[in-house]
Each structure stands twice: as structure tokens, then as C-alpha cells.
């Protein structure tokens, strides 16, 4: 084997080795950069997450995301509004009624009517438009209102 062909092979191996080393270094730098750009992971797969501006609750907004609504006078354009769901507290008397309505700068809760006939509770919500409102954006917002019954409900055969 001649000295020229041996040095040519050596240069070729050196070039391939140098290229491979540079490529590996470049990929490592890219991977490290990508990892440092990611947000840190806190907790595990069973850790609850939240998002949005009111996830931790803001003024009048609970951890459930619903704005507390209390009946108010002076609303116009009154209409019945169906409720979404009702949570019954362990005391059997306190009901949290969840419903949807427009934004609280335009719309409000006018009344909550609760009737009990033969042990069956009926809840009717009445909503309306706030006074002196000219224009409203049409966006649904989650609300809740609290109702306390005179006597506890009997749920699943268990009652006070």
C-alpha cells in the first residue's frame, strides 16, 4: 500500500470522524436548548391542573369558576332561565344552583323561586337585564346562587 493512499484514507477517516463529532455536538446543543425552553414540570400525572384567569378564584368567583349571583331588584326584560345543576350540601338544606347567563355587566338574577310539593323540590330562576344598559356582548358566563331550605331534603333514604 502506498503512502499516498494510506494518508488519503486517514484524511478521509479524520474528515468523517470530525463531521460525526460536529454533528453529535450540534444535536446535543439543540436537545439541551429545547429542554431548557420547556416549562418545568411540577407534580405528577395525578396532580390537578387549572388554567384561565379565574382558576384560583377572583372577586366573586369560586374555585368552581362560577360567579356568585344574588337576586336584585330593578331588572327589565325578565325571563325564566333553566339551571345547569344543583349541589346539595351535607346539611341537606343548602342548595347551590348553577346556571348560565350573559355577562354580569349587562344581566343579573332577578329571583329564585323554590317550591316543595309532596317532597319534590322545584327550582325556578328568573333573570333579566340590568338598568341603563344600552349594548351587551353575547357571551355565556357560569353563575351560582345559594338557597337555604326550611327543612332538609331526604336523599337516597337518608335524612335528618
In this structure, is residue 160 part of a structural domain? no
pTM reported for the whole predicted model: 0.59
Digitized pLDDT (tens) for each residue of the chain, 160 residues in all: 555 555 555 555 544 444 444 444 444 444 444 444 444 445 555 555 444 444 444 455 667 889 999 999 999 999 999 999 999 999 999 999 999 999 999 999 999 999 988 878 899 999 999 999 988 899 999 999 999 998 888 766 544 4
Could you tell me if 30 and 79 lie in one domain?
Answer: no
Q: Are residues 84 and 143 in the same domain?
A: yes
Cell of 102: 350573559
Q: Are residues 128 and 81 in the same domain?
A: yes
Can you point out the beta strands (E) in the chain? 67-68, 76-81, 83-88, 94-101, 107-117, 120-129, 141-148
Helix (H, G, I), strand (E, B) or coil at 128: strand
Residues 75, 142 share a domain: yes
Check whether residue 34 and residue 76 sit in a common domain.
no
Number of domains in the chain: 2
Name which of 157, 90, 95 is nearest 123 in CA terms. 95
> 19 is in which domain, residue-wise?
1-38
In a domain, residue 34? The reply is: yes
Amino acid at each position: 500500500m502506498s503512502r499516498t493512499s494510506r494518508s488519503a484514507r486517514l484524511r478521509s477517516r479524520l474528515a468523517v470522524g470530525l463531521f460525526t463529532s460536529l454533528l453529535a455536538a450540534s444535536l446535543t446543543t439543540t436537545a439541551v436548548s429545547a429542554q431548557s425552553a420547556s416549562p418545568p414540570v411540577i407534580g405528577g400525572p395525578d396532580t390537578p391542573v387549572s388554567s384561565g384567569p379565574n382558576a384560583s378564584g377572583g372577586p366573586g368567583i369560586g374555585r368552581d369558576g362560577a360567579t356568585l349571583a344574588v337576586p336584585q331588584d330593578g331588572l327589565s326584560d325578565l325571563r325564566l332561565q333553566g339551571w345547569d345543576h344543583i349541589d346539595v350540601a351535607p346539611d341537606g338544606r343548602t342548595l347551590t344552583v348553577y346556571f348560565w347567563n350573559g355577562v354580569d355587566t349587562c344581566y343579573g338574577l332577578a329571583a329564585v323561586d323554590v317550591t316543595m310539593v309532596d317532597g319534590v323540590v322545584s327550582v325556578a330562576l328568573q333573570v333579566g337585564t340590568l338598568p341603563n344598559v344600552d349594548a351587551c356582548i353575547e357571551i355565556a358566563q357560569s353563575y351560582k346562587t345559594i338557597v337555604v331550605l326550611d327543612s332538609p331534603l331526604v336523599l337516597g333514604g337518608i335524612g335528618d
